[in-house]
Amino acid sequence: MRKIAVEEHFENDKFRQFDKEAMEGNGFPATADDQRARYLQELFDAPVNEHRIPTMDRLGIDIQIVSTNAQAVQYLRDAGRAVEMAAQINEIAQDFVAQAPQRLKAMAVLPMQDPAAAANELKRCVLEKHFVGGFIHGQTGLGDYPYYDDPCYDVLWDQMEALDVPLFIHPRSPETDQIKAFKGCEELLGNTWDWGFVTGTLVLRMVFNGVFERHPKLRVAIGHMGETLPYCLKRLDEGYECRRLWEQGKIKNPPSYYLKRNLYIATSGGYRPETMACAIEALGVDKILFGTDYPHFPTEEAVAQLENCRLNKTELEHICYKNAETLFHLGQ
């Protein structure tokens, strides 16, 4: 069965320079050893036709929707530099997908330090470069920029609704004060726990502070089987009900209403069959996208996990390619 993979990454030396510029001195603990870092760099640096495309061919992946592995833009404090760097990264992304334009599509990195500039950069990339969505690496800045539920971002959400493209929110390391919660147990940092906690919180802030109330057609996608959100719907609704939040005017419906309507999740990373069953029950099979997190997670294992879920043909078609075709306008 054909597949469209939606959380796939690329990287080069220029991006590594950007990360060094933006992140030097932040002091975040490493979440992978040197051996794994070398292995990933070798895959990133391999020519597209030597590893990426053959892997796709072998496992039935027609299209990768790629995004930069560099987190630099979101870490920058200087808004002007962020706008400049985002444009540079998106130019590189255009050149990258041009190597195999029928097999690779790109999402635009957005400089959220300047919401109006982010809206303009998204429009430029979608209309001129045929990018298929926007992409951000978690929260912007290091505590010095608003979270994405702030009304200052409405100019971007308006543009996303007008262009009818989604926003993909990818994990990044937490702000420095948040790391305190993991002191003495740094093993919980990164993919173990904190990335999911931080990313899920960003989405929940958007839900509870009315972003999806104001922008009902805005679509947000996150990876790793939803960063735990699909499995907490009843608990989230309980918080809404016990605080009588409908009386405060922020949101008119329980949180689960907006998550079911506005959220898409990708299968990227490791999960078990019961996780998929719960996600389908919680959000619906039309909200689940296939992804591998290339090259961070073995593509073979990503495909095998999906096969182990014992889904019927209709469910597999939706998850493997139909949902992505609809969301990213990739219809044949």
Among all residues, which ones are annotated catalytic?
293
3-10 sheet: strands from edge to edge = 3-10, 61-68, 104-106
Find tokens 């010095």 and name the residue: 144
Find all residues with CB under 8 Å of 212, minimum gap 6, and list them. 206, 218, 251, 258, 261, 262
How many Å from the N-terminal Cα to the C-terminal Cα in the chain? Answer: 15
Neighbour tally for 9: CB within 10 Å = 21
Do the strands 288-289 and 263-266 form a parallel or antiparallel pair, or are they unpaired?
A: parallel
Residue 161: is it exposed, middle or buried by C-beta count within 10 angstroms (0-12/13-18/19+)?
middle
Question: Could you tell me how many residues make up the chain?
Answer: 332
How many Cα atoms within 13 Å fall on the side-chain side of residue 42? 6
| Maximum Cα interatomic distance, the chain, rounded to a whole number of Å | 58
